[in-house]
Structure 1
């Protein structure tokens, strides 16, 4: 699918798979645009076909130029702050995937907070002449490293939010856990709720939110009594991997909140890979996030 940005407008050349559908079908069915956005686009005459404003029941033809008003200027929502170590793994007009280091919040948790990944993204946008809200699609704990997706406009945000909820975005983590697993792979299905006795801690609770984690042991280190594990989130609860691995008796190295020993300076958890379909073109995107720790945490396990 050929696409391009024309100022505040997004243009696509209609592919053969869209031949014969209407303008309304393209917006409602192909992109599943939320009702509020559809209404706003209709009221503002924000959809054109070959440069003309036409009724939404007009059929599209192969190679037609379909334009929608997509790239409106907006406040960043956070204060831009230069981050010399910002590592961007993927970026186009619609989304950005960044590699978060440890000791950094994904976004501000209080007014005027600086030092977060979102502050650095805002500065990056500003430096490239882009004025749009910084929209994170998911988060990582302060001391968890790895890949995080940001949307650059409302439609990409709505599509990615829905795909995340429908488990259509695959997030793969790696972790160093205490002990040697009896089973080389498995699934942890245990609901997670707040711990009434601790403000930030979570716990397994039958009345909590449903939480499912798949795991696979990549390598074991018997002398060090630890395992390198690959994990996939099927739900996205706060501290999910940390709580689940602690629950089955294998807390993360460095995760003292959930029973891990402080053998490394942080919980040994890294969002290593993200696989998704592009929100507008449906092309497959695969991003791998390199380790950022200095001195290394994960690489040192192999020596």
Structure 2
């Protein structure tokens, strides 16, 4: 078996371990292990310094060590496939499904499902995250793209970096937003008060989200909004909303203890995903259906005819013009 390789070029000065954490979606500890195993070189020169300061325009090369395959856990669920070809798999991740294994995760994950399906996947993110280009929080449902080979994985990772891959989320919030358009550009880091949460932190990673009003609920206490991510930080939408005293219905970690206590899931859904296909180089767009819980909630608390018209994918993409960037 040929060892997996990858390379990325910096567009700014940054620490080596920080840069690879951003590119590969792995933890700082995993990146440090790669560097310690002499799997990383910069401009062709091997390095063992995780804190090496990279300059703009330098290229980092990674040769991944061969991974020992771990058996998949038994699964009792299925995942809807929105699209599949030789290079990519686009799925609609259900709420309550964790994307990849971790020490704290005891139940089967999306990676376990992929293993059971026997789908050939990339290895750039290692055995426990193979094929995973980007992730969704456990409670968040919606569209995800998975790489089936290393060439596709590297191409898609670069699109995450240069923002040519985009995502639009639908959410139900309480109380309604004040402005038609709200842009929050504030860094996010781990909360110092609750290690399960993220928070606005001046020492955190840069994070930018744009929110737009769509439709108020029947009683005007809630609102359906659409959110566009310009970065992909952990819990980004939820943290940015909390920073302006807004919460997503069903969010037990960041939300207020009102109607959300009765919800079986958070009403946050990755509705639209677009990117450039790594082989055909054509822009492709995928839409993930709302699912029965979110659909039923919207039908009950909002005007069904109105919200279905407002979430037309073409209409949503037109809402976000280049002027708002």
- Please report the TM-score for the alignment, with normalisation by the length of structure 1: 0.69
Q: Secondary structure at 2:118's aligned position in 1?
A: helix
Q: Output the CA distance in 2 between the equivalents of 1:84 and 1:266.
A: 17
SS at match of 2:115: helix
Deviation, structure 1 residue 225: 0.3
CA distance in 2, matches of 1:166, 1:81: 37
Distance in 2, matches of 1:75 and 1:300, equals 49
Once residues 204 and 169 of structure 2 are traced to their aligned partners in structure 1, the CA distance between those partners, rounded to angstroms, is 23
With over 3 angstroms needed to count, the CA separation of the structure-2 counterparts of 1:223 and 1:200, relative to structure 1, is same
Q: Identify the residue that residue 149 of structure 2 maps to in structure 1.
A: 153
Residues 209-288 of structure 1: pairs in structure 2 closer than 5 A:
209-221=205-217, 223-260=219-256, 261=258, 262=260, 263-288=262-287
CA distance in 2, matches of 1:78, 1:111: 17
**Aligned residue pairs, count:** 234
Contact 2:143 2:273 in 1 (8 A): yes
Tell me the distance in 1 between the aligned counterparts of 2:148 and 2:68.
Answer: 12
- The CA RMSD over aligned residues, in Å, is 2.9
Superposed CA offset, 1:230-271 (max 9, x none) = 001000110000011111121111113213332422221000
> In structure 2, the residue corresponding to 1:176 is in which secondary structure?
strand
Listed as ranges, the matches of 1:53-72 within 5 Å are: none
Distance 1:251 1:114, change over 3 A: closer
After TM superposition, the structure 1 stretch with the greater mean CA deviation from structure 2, 254-263 or 180-189, is 254-263
Please tell me whether the aligned partners of residues 211 and 240 of structure 1 are also in contact (alpha carbons under 8 angstroms). Answer: yes
Displacement after TM superposition at 1:82 (Å) = 4.8
Aligned to 1:14: none
Gapped regions of structure 1 (runs ≥ 5): 1-7, 9-27, 29-34, 40-72
Partners of 2:268 and 2:104 in 1: CA distance: 28
Rg larger for: 1
Alignment of 1:1-303 (within 5 A): 79=72, 81-82=74-75, 84-110=77-103, 113-126=106-119, 130=120, 133=123, 134-221=130-217, 223-260=219-256, 261=258, 262=260, 263-294=262-293, 296-302=296-302
Deviations 1:136-169 (A, max 9, x none): 1111111111111110011111111111111110
Contact 2:121-2:147 within 8 A present in 1 as well: no
Which protein has the bigger helix share? 2
SS of residue in 2 equivalent to 1:135: coil
2:199 counterpart SS class: strand
- The Cα shift of 1:199 comes to 1.6
C-alpha contact 2:73 2:108 (8 A) present in aligned 1: no
| TM-score, length basis structure 2 | 0.65
Q: Deviations over 1:276-295 (max 9, x none)?
A: 11012111211000122447
Query: Any unmatched runs of 5+ in structure 2?
Result: 3-7, 9-39, 45-65, 124-129, 304-325
Structure-2 separation of matches of 1:77 and 1:253: 37
